[in-house]
Structure 1
Amino acid sequence: MTAESDIKVTSSPLSGENPIVMMGFPGSGLVGSIALQYLVEQMEFTQIGNITSKYFPPVAMMAKGVINVPVRIYEKQNTVAIVADIPIHPMICYEVANGIMDWLSAFPVREVISIAGIVTNEPEKRVFGVATEEAMLERISDHTVILPMGSISGIAGSLLTECKIRDIPGYGFLGETVNTPDPRSSAAALTVLKALYDLDLDIEPLLEQAEEIEAAMHKLAEEVQSNEPVPKKENLPMYG
């Protein structure tokens, strides 16, 4: 449990030496949560813990009849993944980020990676990169577009701020997305992680899921358009 009892971490101790910690919470395009859930499933991570809080929505997630905690902690060798199914309200981002980082402070964490989305409404699916120190940017400059200025909102921004304050190396990878579920953007972010951390991960199935989702959304849009009532023409008086 953290020092702040409002954020409760129930987990086995991290077993890896100098682990890297990846975090993904629902946000724009659900980029972070889709990416990390796919990562832990494909690479067969082991769930070692959960995070709960009075601040979280009063919901229990369910899959195939089995209850699952909305924020979970997974581990495989020297990689830890914190995956969330629920969005974090802006008013509690500080408390949640601070609680997670308080728990991580007990372990020799090498670096923290926050994965999120950034809405541009452009089709390229670029991945934008930021780091807590200027010297760290060289490592990611060949794989991401370095953001020159701006702000990162939500839990991703709060986590990176906590890394900066606590002098823990932190990276932010922001997948270019639209504001709908975007597995293609998640795949782009995973491609960056695969290159930087030499992950044994096949991303092709996620791209196939993206095509299926895009096709379904396109069909839905067509159905909505075809069912829209045609406006009646009004017989307006003519002047002149």
Structure 2
Amino acid sequence: MEIFREELIDGFTFIEYKSFSLNRPSTMVLALPDAGLVGVIAASYMINKMGLDEIGGVDSPYLQPIMIIHRGIPRPPIRIFARDRIMVVYTEISLPIDVSTKFVSAVIDYARLRGVDQLIGITGLPIHNRIDVEDLSTYFISPFDEMKKIFSESGIKMLENGILSGPYATFIKEIFRKRILGALLMSESFLEFPDPEAAAKVLLSLGRVLNVQIDVDKLLEQAEIIKMRAREHMRNLMQSFEQIRRGVEYSVPLYT
């Protein structure tokens, strides 16, 4: 694939394969691997459903020596897609915490350089009783009154209290420090299992914010399969714990 333009920002090379421009008002969606892989699943599904074009990628000596091979063509591990007024930046690889912090800061600078009007991070919010929750809630965090108004009017709850850590904590701090409009959008999710249902909830909420339609039926079909597997996994765990408990109850004491 040919390189049209490169931009080096804080050790990260933003590669563009062709000339492109975003319609206004423009939005960048950022998705990194996190709880339930919600952001990654949602971003990948959104790219396919909305027919976004792969217009670039991000590489850096900070990243592991990994290339993504798609249709026989090698691409950087962080990929950029765009069409009309939406840009999506996402990666399926897990970034070390120090690297992800630097990357988030760099991608915000790239968005500002590209004239993006607002940034929205998407991720999961793990809850301990996820297996029993049928109607997942979505929440947002933003330091900007304008974004709070938009999200609240879209029927999304503001996260009132909690602790945010990792790259998305950097995301919130940096958009506030650099004064570029943005918000973090989260859905309740599994922590350890991929969660297509949570990804569907994020996309439905994102669609309301951006005033676009995203059909999530296929994600919801996948969600039913995941939940069945999760329930089976939990049953197996509970049976294992019960066997361990009985073994301890009836074992001969080691000490007297």
Give the TM-score normalised by the residue count of structure 1: 0.86
- Aligned pair count? 238
Query: Counterpart in 2 of 1:81?
Result: 88
Which is worse superposed, 32-41 or 132-141? 132-141
Q: Which of 183, 189, 201 in structure 1 is aligned with 2:202? A: 189
- Report the alpha carbon displacement of residue 63 of structure 1 after superposing the two structures with TM: 5.7
Query: Counterpart in 2 of 1:16?
Result: 22
* SS at structure 1 position matched to 2:57: strand
- Report the alpha carbon displacement of residue 94 of structure 1 after superposing the two structures with TM: 2.9
- Report the alpha carbon displacement of residue 105 of structure 1 after superposing the two structures with TM: 2.2
**Which amino acid letter does the alignment assign opposite residue 209 of structure 1?**
Q
- Within a 5 Å distance, the mapping from 1:141-180 to structure 2 comes to 141-142=152-153, 143-179=155-191, 180=193
Query: Counterpart in 1 of 2:107?
Result: 100
Which is worse superposed, 57-66 or 46-55? 57-66
1:229–1:77: structure 2 CA closer, same or farther, 3 Å change rule? Answer: same
Contact 1:88 1:155 in 2 (8 A): no
Query: Counterpart in 1 of 2:3?
Result: none
In structure 2, distance between residues paired with 1:195 and 1:62: 33
**Which amino acid letter does the alignment assign opposite residue 154 of structure 1?**
G
* SS at structure 1 position matched to 2:79: strand
- Report the alpha carbon displacement of residue 33 of structure 1 after superposing the two structures with TM: 0.9
* SS at structure 1 position matched to 2:113: coil
- Report the alpha carbon displacement of residue 151 of structure 1 after superposing the two structures with TM: 3.5
Query: Counterpart in 2 of 1:198?
Result: 211
- Report the alpha carbon displacement of residue 158 of structure 1 after superposing the two structures with TM: 1.6
Query: After superposition, what is the alpha-carbon deviation per residue over 1:74-110, rounded to whole angstroms, capped at 9, x for unaligned?
Result: 0111111111111222222331112212222222211
Contact 2:101 2:170 in 1 (8 A): yes
Contact 1:10 1:50 in 2 (8 A): yes
Unaligned runs of 5+ in 1: none
- Report the alpha carbon displacement of residue 214 of structure 1 after superposing the two structures with TM: 2.1
Unaligned runs of 5+ in 2: 1-5
- Report the alpha carbon displacement of residue 29 of structure 1 after superposing the two structures with TM: 1.0
**Which amino acid letter does the alignment assign opposite residue 174 of structure 1?**
M
Which is worse superposed, 120-129 or 228-237? 228-237
1:161–1:2: structure 2 CA closer, same or farther, 3 Å change rule? Answer: farther
Query: After superposition, what is the alpha-carbon deviation per residue over 1:181-207, rounded to whole angstroms, capped at 9, x for unaligned?
Result: 111111111110111212232111110
1:224–1:76: structure 2 CA closer, same or farther, 3 Å change rule? Answer: same
Contact 1:131 1:137 in 2 (8 A): yes
Query: Counterpart in 1 of 2:147?
Result: 136
Contact 2:203 2:216 in 1 (8 A): yes
**Which amino acid letter does the alignment assign opposite residue 207 of structure 2?**
K
Contact 2:112 2:180 in 1 (8 A): no
Give the TM-score normalised by the residue count of structure 2: 0.81
1:7 has 2:18 as partner: no
* SS at structure 1 position matched to 2:116: coil
**Which amino acid letter does the alignment assign opposite residue 46 of structure 2?**
L
**Which amino acid letter does the alignment assign opposite residue 203 of structure 1?**
V
More helix by share: 2
